[in-house]
Structure 1
Amino acid sequence: MDITRNTFSNFGVFQHFALVTLSFLVHCVKPMPVPTAAPFCTASETAHYSLKFTGKWTQSAFPKQYPVYRPPAQWSDLMGVTHSSDFHMWQRNEFASNGVREFTERGEAWTLMKEVEAAGERIQSVYGVFSAPAVVGGTGQMHTEIDVFARHSYLSFMVRIVPSPDWFVGVDTFNLCEGDQWKESVTLELYPYDAGTDSGFTFSSPNFETIPQEKVTQITSSLPNHPANSFYYPRLKHLPPMAKVTLTKTTKKTNQIISLPLEPTQSNQLPTGNEIEDKLTDTPLDCEVSVWSPWGLCKANCGDSGMQHRTRYVLMHHANHGTPCPPLEEERKCIPDNCL
């Protein structure tokens, strides 16, 4: 009898312990979050936006090593796409593509556009490509018009910081739609990014490839944490914005053709009658480049032939149908001369 009583007593203790444990699991253990898909736009009509990029790169805001000449502070062409949520033109904390490398280092957009085209054909993720002309000056403006629709409601773009090793500003996968409504107006502050492909510290650093390649990172007042860095301001908690972009929903004017200038401009605005007349008498300006840098190190194993590079930079961009700039990089075969 005592054995039976003890057995049932132990069973009661076990049952009580099991109920307490179950209650703890129900109330205290949270379920794993289930990944949610990107918000889906259900707007019925295509939206038309006016995009205005404004440079805020001034000597007063960024006094350290501010480029005054050879070349002065300026912005490259703006290159952008409208797309779905499964496409990234570039992405923070991810490796830059070859197209992004060429654009951020040399301002060449051919490979980047081929990558965009390939993504559009492969996964139908890209709707349109747009651009705006380069700006001569750190505080100029550029302007363009874009169309977006529900399936491709996201916007991405890049603008190269000139001069720089591989630095840029831009936007990655920004959604212009909320539910079934298009956003009426958006202003985004832009901060510098490092593409992770060149190891230069200053605006005018010579080409010095990063091996192995690093991921795209945002440049801050303390990153890279080196006094030689052009953005190194240890007293600042945050860098001031280097540029901003404003997107305004507008009514598309089908009866008006807007022709954007092909040359770099201080401000991309439609010219007045007097400005058009003045441009007819503009003197052509040929491109001017620096002398060649010394040949770089011969990249090869001892006993093998390799390649070495040299570069030059733009002193002045061509304008008004002047002579375009010649190639800014050369390479030649070499044999290492420092072998034991």
Structure 2
Amino acid sequence: MGTLMPATSWALLLATLGSVAGLPLEGEPGCTARHLARYSITFMGKWSQTAFPKQYPLFRPPAQWSSLLGATHSSDYSMWKKNEYVSNGLRDFAERGEAWALMKEIEAAGEKIQSVHGVFSAPAVPTGTGQTSAELEAHARHSLVSFVVRIVPSPDWFVGIDSLDLCEGDRWKDQVSLDLFPYDAGTDSGFTFSSPNFATIPQDTVTEITSSFPSHPANSFYYPRLKSLPPMARVNLVRLPHSSRTFVLPTQDLAGTGNEILDTLSVPQTPLDCEVSLWSSWGLCEGRCGRLGAKSRTRYVRVQPANNGTPCPELEEKADCTPDNCV
């Protein structure tokens, strides 16, 4: 089971709740649901050799899925959109499965314009068919959910959801199930699952990969006899019952007693320790020939600490080195 990671501190969350007053912002889809909603999200890979026999990856590496990374947000934020350019963070995730830059972009959106409510992640699936799951939280101001899962191996291909609204008027949807199909991030020009890195210059927009597009025989998804590709994966979101941890949005009468805010402060708080990824590989050695240089490596936060949990360690490490390729 994945872990819910608040994109903002509890103090910022409470301040946000106090400013919303249960009303959607201008331009929002019109969600007026009063309670916070918690959902389980289950990702099911359907990438089998039977369904996708062409160039099906059997080794180095075999067909598999990256970890799932997503966010609940308002319409002011976009993780990705069809026919638009991806961010640098999503490019890194789609090409190499590196989530650090994308996490920083989501965090920045949550801090600066408060357009992101929470971040969630689910473990990778080591085979083409299998499933992984997590939990997420949404409220009226942030009722949209987006996520991405990288197709491994691939040049820059992924599946995901863009801005699915979990709210209808004043009610939360009980369940949503969607088939997922492959997308090209537009940053790498490879045609096959195992294509070498070949940057797309200039960068292209996100496009859906179909049985006839790209219309090149070398394309791993090129099945000209099919009208459409079979679903490569499926996602199922199920609303969870209310629990003692559920937050309640304040009433529209801000001059009232404010009991709703006080109730959130009395919720039992379980410490959540920070969790970080493994270190990345060392970067290039920077420096002049004949002199001592420096190299660095990084890691990213998988789970943000909360409720006085263990804080995060340093996310960057530097070391001395000797510059390569000196004459």
TM over 0.5: yes
The aligned counterpart of 1:113 is 103
TM superposition score normalised by structure 2: 0.67
SS in 2 for 1:114: helix
Aligned residues: 228
Structure with bigger RCO (C-alpha 8 Å, 6+ apart): 2
The aligned counterpart of 2:23 is none
- Match for 1:71 among 53, 61, 65? 61
**1:165 maps onto 2:155 in alignment:** yes
Equivalent residues in 2 for 1:83-122, closer than 5 Å = 83-122=73-112
- Match for 1:147 among 112, 137, 140? 137
**1:213 maps onto 2:203 in alignment:** yes
SS in 2 for 1:200: coil
**1:227 maps onto 2:217 in alignment:** yes
SS in 2 for 1:221: coil
SS in 1 for 2:104: helix
The CA distance in 1 between the partners of 2:192 and 2:46, in whole Å, is: 19
* 8 Å Cα contact 2:28/2:141 also seen in 1: no
- Percent identity, aligned pairs only? 67
The aligned counterpart of 1:82 is 72
**1:187 maps onto 2:170 in alignment:** no
> What is the CA-CA distance between 1:333 and the residue it aligns to?
7.3
SS in 1 for 2:92: helix
SS in 1 for 2:89: helix
Larger Rg: 1
Equivalent AA in structure 2 for residue 140 of structure 1: G
Distance 1:94 1:127, change over 3 A: same
Equivalent residues in 2 for 1:16-95, closer than 5 Å = 37-95=27-85
Ranges in structure 2 where 5+ consecutive residues have no aligned partner: 1-25, 246-269, 276-323
The aligned counterpart of 1:8 is none
Q: Deviations over 1:101-153 (max 9, x none)?
A: 10000000000011111111221100000000000101110011111111100
The aligned counterpart of 1:204 is 194
The aligned counterpart of 2:124 is 134
Distance 1:67 1:177, change over 3 A: same
Equivalent AA in structure 1 for residue 128 of structure 2: G
Ranges in structure 1 where 5+ consecutive residues have no aligned partner: 1-35, 263-331, 335-340
> What is the CA-CA distance between 1:40 and the residue it aligns to?
1.2
Q: Provide the aligned C-alpha RMSD in A.
A: 2.2
Equivalent residues in 2 for 1:240-279, closer than 5 Å = 240-251=230-241
The aligned counterpart of 2:115 is 125
> What is the CA-CA distance between 1:39 and the residue it aligns to?
1.9
Q: Deviations over 1:1-51 (max 9, x none)?
A: xxxxxxxxxxxxxxxxxxxxxxxxxxxxxxxxxxx9442100010011011
The CA distance in 1 between the partners of 2:156 and 2:243, in whole Å, is: 38
Q: Deviations over 1:204-235 (max 9, x none)?
A: 00111111100010000011110000000000
The CA distance in 2 between the partners of 1:115 and 1:45, in whole Å, is: 27
> What is the CA-CA distance between 1:252 and the residue it aligns to?
5.0
Distance 1:223 1:182, change over 3 A: same
SS in 1 for 2:129: coil
SS in 2 for 1:77: strand
Distance 1:85 1:193, change over 3 A: same
Distance 1:74 1:253, change over 3 A: farther
SS in 1 for 2:212: coil
